[in-house]
Every structure is written in C-alpha cells, then in structure tokens.
Structure 1
C-alpha cells in the first residue's frame, strides 16, 4: 500500500479557478440555507467550510484524513469548479 502525501497535479489557472470556486461555492451554500461569509472570515475558513459542504453533499470526493490540508482542499475546489465550467471557458484554456 502506498504511504505518504496525496499527489496532486497543479491545474493551469488553479489560483483563478479557486477564486471562482469560492464565489460559486458561497452562492451554493447560501442557496442551501447557510449564511454567507462575513468580511472577517479568513480565506482558510472559507476554503475548509466549502470543501466540507461539498463533501457532505457528495459533490466532491473526500480526501483521506491524513491529506486534509489547505493545499489539497484548494486543489479539490479548483477541480470541482473546472468540471462545472462550460467547455472552452477562459479559465480552462
């Protein structure tokens, strides 16, 4: 069995995809009945909250517990939004 860190291939435009995922993810959370994030919520808190919501709603597959860290959560959110965008979207080029 393989041990060690989760290996993730960085996406092209990953930082921009993450920003888009946070924007769309927050709208999704509000539509689900959650309060929107306040200006005082850190990006770290937003990322973890959205990651956990999407896992809970079975929209993304959970990371292994030992791999649940910020870089991997960010990557999962970027992958999620990349799959939601239409083919040919500027962030997918």
Structure 2
C-alpha cells in the first residue's frame, strides 16, 4: 500500500462524506458510541454494495485495507487541486 501524505485527514473526510451518503440512502446516523473502526467497515461495505468501490479480496478485508480503500475513494472524488491531494 502506497502511503499518501494526508491520510488521516483524507480518512476523516471520507468518513464524513460516507456518513452523509449513508443518510441520503436512508440509513440512520451513527450513535456516538460507534467506534471509528466500525464506521470504516460500515461505510466500506455500503460503498462496495453500491458498486462505488471494488471489494477487497476476502483474505484482505481488514481495518487498514478498508481504510486505504476509503482514502483512495475520497481522493478520486476530490478535484486535483484540492489541498489534501497536493504534497
């Protein structure tokens, strides 16, 4: 996995956008007690289900790989001149 410079910020943005997407699809908001790990998995599975991202191989479905997929997804949604994409 290639590391990106602003991964934590990109992941945070991916989760914010993903939660908004889930709400528009009719899902309830996440409770305050839901861990970030669970949010990552839920958003990842929703995006895979809606064919917005390619699923990971079954043996590669773990937290770091799901996070990386979300980071790649959001980085492709942002304009190329976005500050989080520029080194």
**Which bin holds the TM-score, normalised by the shorter protein?**
over 0.9
1:12-55 deviation per Cα after TM superposition (whole angstroms, max 9, x unaligned): 21111000000000000000000011111000110000000000
- Structure 1 unaligned residues grouped into runs of 5+: 1-7
Using the size of structure 2 for normalisation, the TM-score is: 0.96
Is 1:70 aligned with 2:63?
yes
Larger radius of gyration: 1
Root-mean-square deviation (CA, aligned residues, Å) is: 0.6
Structure 2 counterpart SS, 1:91: coil
Using the size of structure 1 for normalisation, the TM-score is: 0.90
Q: Which runs of 4+ in 1 moved over 4 A?
A: none
Query: How many residue pairs align between the two structures?
Result: 86
* Offset, 1:89: 0.4
- Structure 2 unaligned residues grouped into runs of 5+: none
